[in-house]
Amino acid sequence: MDQRIDTAAAKVAQVEAKTVNLGLQGGGSHGAFTWGVLDRLLEDDRISFEGITASSAGAVNAVVLAHGLAVGGREAARDALRLFWKRMSEKTSHGMLQPSPIDKISGNFGLEHSPGYLMVNVMSYFTSPYLFNPLNLNPLRTVLEEIVDFDRLRRRPAVKLFLCATNVRTGKVKIFKTEELGPNHVLASTCLPLLMHTVDIDGEAYWDGGFSGNPAIFPLVYECNSRDVVMVHLTPAERPEVPFTSHDIMNRMQEIGFNAALIREMRAVAFINKRLGEGKMAEGKEMLIHVIEAEDVIREFPGSSRLNNSWDFLSHLHEVGRKRADAWLTDNFVRLGEASTVDLEEKYF
Amino acid sequence: MGFFVAASVLCVGRQRWLFLFIAAMSTDQSASTPNTASTRPAGEKCINLALQGGGSHGAFTWGVLDRLLEETRLSFEGITATSAGAFNAVALADGLAAGGREGARKTLRNYWRKVADISARGIFAPSPWDKADPDHGLKHSPGYLWMESLTYFASPYQMNPFNINPLKELLAETIDFKRVREQQLIKLFICATNVETAKVKVFRNSELDVDHVLASTCLPLMMQAVEIDGACYWDGSFTGNPAIFPLIYECQAPDIMMVHITPAERPGVPKTSPSIMNRMQEISFNVSLIREMRTIAYVTKLVDTNNLPDVVRRYVHLIEAEDLIRDLAWSSRLNGDWDFLKQLHDSGRARADEWLAANFDHIGVKSTLDLQAKYF
């Protein structure tokens, strides 16, 4: 491709800012990759955000970003995100989910050799969080309450938030919107049922949004004007080897489960886009899908690394996220508002 | 420990009762019956079927099919199916090709009878305490408890390194897959999950064999992944329980009859590890279907407002056992006790009977299921 044309086009585009929506997946500590992506996107003032749909760690990033934007704009949002991840790392650095010296040497950021992880892992098969954590202690709540001013977020939202959780009773996805958000809604979206108590909101119990929408796309279709959706993928859909041990099999079962709803929803988006493209649909909204991901990097980390909050690991992911976002901006900024930059059929069919 | 497990499994493997929780079998007689029906049975109305998985709970679906097959005003074009639904679908197609409606009913009955025979000899046989418990679980069965605790630590690759799966042998011996492949009465769509890509894979008539049905039923903590043409597959329920799009893209009949056996709704919050894991799996096994039904509702609205002039209007119907299955233990999915299967079968027949009486006239005319209420 001719580099000069790209640069010229980018210069023209600088004049008009582009408004996009974000779709942020969950993935525990891997959410630091998303932090890196957001950090880089926030630096680029040609891009602004209309709606963010998010699950689990994505929901946490979304709320912290929205809080920062509301109190002081782009720089405040970047600061809030950094502070959040820094505080999470500090809060959990005295906990039992520490990488052991062997884990540190292995370089894959897993916790397979951490006594605390092994204990929690084995315990979760036999005792539920209702038994081993009866007081329901959760450091995330403390850090969220410390950093995010929910009252302000609800009253003067800078961006439309759609946080996804799973209704335990019905199995359906529940979308929490900006005007109702508090720490409980964020915790509901991140509730891994074998590690935490369900979160009760208005008489219903909720689990992690990853089960039923990781994240759900339809709120962006129905409630936002921008047609662009920039997806930040964390859950590896593709993993080119078949798991062999029970631990790996369970991890892969969860990954597949956490991708199922998104894949089916993207097929629907592709169906509508195709009809519109062929002129076989009188009216409708073509959604433009973009993906920033690190499947190749994340695939190399074991599932247990989702619980690794060591600052080394988080900064590493943040750096990878920044680089991927940077490369993505260079390649795709000019096509925002014009076309999808990912082949939906190839990615989701 | 791995060695110990492998050795003990080899011992039990000889007795051929390992993993026999949903075995497929029809009799040798039915397999050798000449093909007497080569044309689609005449019916006033033609529908498609969508059959969910659920292990032994598939006997409810058998009951539904048993009743629908009696109804000569009704015929079937396509069947999309997953896991236990896939067994029912293949047995129905084989039997239909061999001996028409009665042949299909017979093959289905033989298959489930055989499941009971084999499971009575297996490790998952309910104990007397289980039989006395109305939830039909296996929580007092020594074999089930042994297996359940084992799966947390030893994978099927370690427990069963030679991948002994008597289900495979039985399927090959009893279902005539050549006849299934060649028959043109029913379009079959068997769903499995590609382990490496996390996407749904749909197998169709001309390629169907034992392995494709096994792939559709492969619970990954109990069986090794099934390899077909270099790709590895797990149970279709992870990605489509079942997938509906094949019926829309490849069938003419506008009616889709769903048979639900995975409870979407379950009141109360699970608080023990097994019940949490059970509910996590139930939710996962419904997610794709719920999202696909939302799409169907959305597209239907567009069709009704003339936004999609060339798309056929679809009608969705449902026969379900949610209320019955909700009261059963998760482990009852592995319970192949004949009394239990028979009871599910009878419930299935009764539900199908009620449905026909109330809704037959609506087939081809309107949906009898409120998609908005059920899936939104």
pLDDT digit string (tens) for A269-278?
Answer: 999 999 898 9
Name A139's bridge partners: none
* Integer Cα distance of A306 and A56 in angstroms: 12
Strand B187-194 to B74-82 pairing = parallel
Report the pLDDT averaged over residues A91-106. 70
Residue A68 Cα, gap to closest chain B Cα (Å): 33
State the pLDDT at residue A241: 85
Whole-structure pTM over 0.95, yes or no?
A: no
* Integer Cα distance of B296 and B301 in angstroms: 8
Contacts A241 to B, Cβ<8 Å: 196
Residue A277 Cα, gap to closest chain B Cα (Å): 13
Strand B45-51 to A228-233 pairing = unpaired
Beta-carbon separation of B309 and A280 below 8 A: yes
Q: Identify the three-state secondary structure at position A204.
A: strand
Residue A35 has pLDDT above 70, yes or no: yes
Q: Report ipTM for this prediction.
A: 0.83
Report the pLDDT averaged over residues A14-18. 72
Residue among A128, A211, A252 whose CB faces B273 most closely:
A128
Report the pLDDT averaged over residues B301-315. 90
Strand B187-194 to B200-204 pairing = antiparallel
Provide the token pair at A159.
């961006």
Contacts B264 to A, Cβ<8 Å: 170-172
State the pLDDT at residue A126: 58
* Integer Cα distance of B192 and B240 in angstroms: 8
Residue A131 has pLDDT above 70, yes or no: no
C-alpha separations of A272 from A19, A164, A265, B30, B372 in Å: 22, 23, 11, 46, 20
Residue among B232, B279, B308 whose CB faces A168 most closely:
B279
For residue B152, give the chain A residue with the closest CA. A246
For residue B267, give the chain A residue with the closest CA. A169
State the pLDDT at residue A4: 46
Residue among A128, A245, A253 whose CB faces B276 most closely:
A128
Residues 6+ apart with CB under 8 A from A197: A129, A130, A133, A136, A191
Residue B154 has pLDDT above 60, yes or no: yes
State the pLDDT at residue A308: 87
The amino acid occupying position A51 is: G
H or E element in which residue B346 lies: helix B338-359
DSSP code string of B161-222: TT---HHHHHHHHHS-HHHHHH--S-EEEEEEEETTT--EEEEEGGG--HHHHHHHT--TTT
Contacts A125 to B, Cβ<8 Å: 152, 273
CB count, 10 Å around CB of A50? Answer: 16
Read off the pLDDT of residues B163-209 as tens digits, 9 standing for 90 and up. 777 678 778 878 999 999 999 999 999 999 999 999 999 999 999 99
Name the pLDDT band for B141 (thresholds 50, 70, 90).
confident
Chosen from A172, A208, A214, A298 to mutate, greatest number of chain B CBs within 10 A: A172
Residue A260 Cα, gap to closest chain B Cα (Å): 5
